Amino acid sequence: MRRLGARRAWLRGLALTVTAGVSSLGLPGAVAVADTSSYAFGADAREVPAATGTADAVPLRPGTTYRSSYTGPGKAFYRLELDGASNAYVPVTAVPRPGAVLAIGDGIRVAVQDADGVNCSSESVTIGAARSARPITAWGAREILVGKGLCQDAGTYYVVVERTDGRGTSDLPWELELAPVSEPSLGRPAPTTVPEVWNSATPAPVTGEAARRAGGAGFTRATAVEQGVWRDDITPGETLYYKVPLDWGQQLYAEAELGNAEKDTGFVAPALEMTLYNPVRSKVAETGVGYGGTQKSTSLSPLPPVRYVNRYAPAAPEKSLRFAGFYYLEVHLAAAVGERFGDGPYGLLLRVRVGGTAQPAPGYAGQSVPRGFFDVGSGDEAAGPGGVTDDGSGGAAMRAVAFGGIGTGSALLVGLGVWTVTARRRASAQIRASAQNPTA
């Protein structure tokens, strides 16, 4: 056991060394942008520039996570080359610089446009009343839907990102994370009428002993949880991410509870906010609660089950519950809580319940990109699409090594392979020698 523990520690240390070395050298596939916040960008994110016009827009490929930087004013452009059958989704997470003075209306607008400048979709999101320098996410989409006449053809499309000006600090760049996903068409036509009846009753909250589970600092680092009660700590201004696998036909119920402070004078509103995102990071629902120093809880309203036909619903949350996969719970504690009640950390309880019976998949004609993105029944369920989870066997460490890129990372991997083979050969030689000379 001691040898196994030492090996795991060595692997984790090697992974950190490789990742740090590759990033510092700015090799292909590595992130050369310095971290500017506590948000954890994808370990394998590729750095791309934000073009100021369509002529210079760099291509984005589904299945790849990208990192960019955008200041504004003006628009940032990225290019998509799409077929005429698949749906394309491009979520954009914007991360303001720590200490930025923000107004309620500061935020981003994300659109997908065709080559003639026609909007296929457009969504805006703002910092909100808490005015914390927190990650915010909006998405763009090109969807192939029955009865929709625009943006249905194969060709060149553009992802357009722009800042919404709430009269806060506007001269500091915001880091961006873009994670395009492609969803295949169905093998046969499916219903387009959304059922009106579903189980909308609020179930009893999940009870029992809470298990410690530290939340991740970004979508790609979200911590996988299932039904149960989960315990964590959160500090003012911090945002934590968790992910829950939901199959077709299942429903998610979630409640977040913030523990008491050392004092109960004053009040902050909003203080604790929880947002649910679907697998392509489109917002499903959100909830929040003010805080006066005593424990407070907030829960999501009952949500419909996950169904393919939900995409034809008129609005969220039902419209966003359109595919199976990992759903993300983003929990944020307003920075103002620290100013009023102290730096913390504050106790956080997350109660998660999964209801409904899993149903068969709708029958896709091909594979998503990334592969298996909308299938919670295959692959590494603990890690999920784009996630990294350490199961104690060194798997996360080795994945971190793989994410390091090429160049120095590859050289170190080759060295690791040579070291392993050499060690095995030496061990075999010692065994043979012992067998030939048992008295040695």
Please answer whether residues 257 and 289 qualify as being in contact, where contact means their C-beta atoms are separated by less than 8 angstroms.
no
Residue 439 has pLDDT above 70, yes or no: no
Question: What's the rounded Cα separation, in Å, for the pair 341 and 175?
Answer: 30
Give the three-state DSSP class for 216.
strand
| Tens-digit pLDDT profile for residues 129-141 | 989 899 999 999 9
Cα 307–Cα 308–Cα 310 angle in degrees, nearest 5? 70
Residues in the chain: 440
Predicted TM-score (pTM) above 0.95? no
Residue 20 has pLDDT above 70, yes or no: no
As a whole number, the mean pLDDT across the chain is 81
- Least reliable range by pLDDT among 2-16, 245-259, 351-365: 2-16
What band does 72 get if pLDDT is binned at 50, 70 and 90?
confident
Q: Which long-range contacts link 45-49 to residues 24+ away (Cβ below 8 Å)? A: 45/177, 45/220, 48/78, 48/178
Identify the top-confidence range among 32-36, 158-162, 380-384.
158-162
What band does 172 get if pLDDT is binned at 50, 70 and 90?
confident
Question: Phi/psi of residue 337, each to 5°?
Answer: -60, -40
What pLDDT sits at residue 332? Answer: 97
Specify the domain boundaries for CATH 2.60.120.380 within the chain: 39-189, 191-359
What pLDDT sits at residue 73? Answer: 83
For domain 39-189, say whether CATH 2.60.120.380 is its number: yes
What band does 264 get if pLDDT is binned at 50, 70 and 90?
confident
Q: What CATH number belongs to 191-359?
A: 2.60.120.380
| Tens-digit pLDDT profile for residues 334-381 | 999 999 999 999 999 999 999 999 999 999 999 999 999 999 864 343
Q: What percent of the chain has pLDDT over 70?
A: 76
| Tens-digit pLDDT profile for residues 292-342 | 999 999 999 999 999 999 999 999 999 999 999 999 999 999 999 999 999
Please answer whether residues 254 and 297 qualify as being in contact, where contact means their C-beta atoms are separated by less than 8 angstroms.
no
- Mean pLDDT computed over 65-92: 95
Question: What's the rounded Cα separation, in Å, for the pair 159 and 298?
Answer: 34
What band does 168 get if pLDDT is binned at 50, 70 and 90?
low
Residue 25 has pLDDT above 80, yes or no: no
Q: Which amino acid appears at position 138 of this protein?
A: A
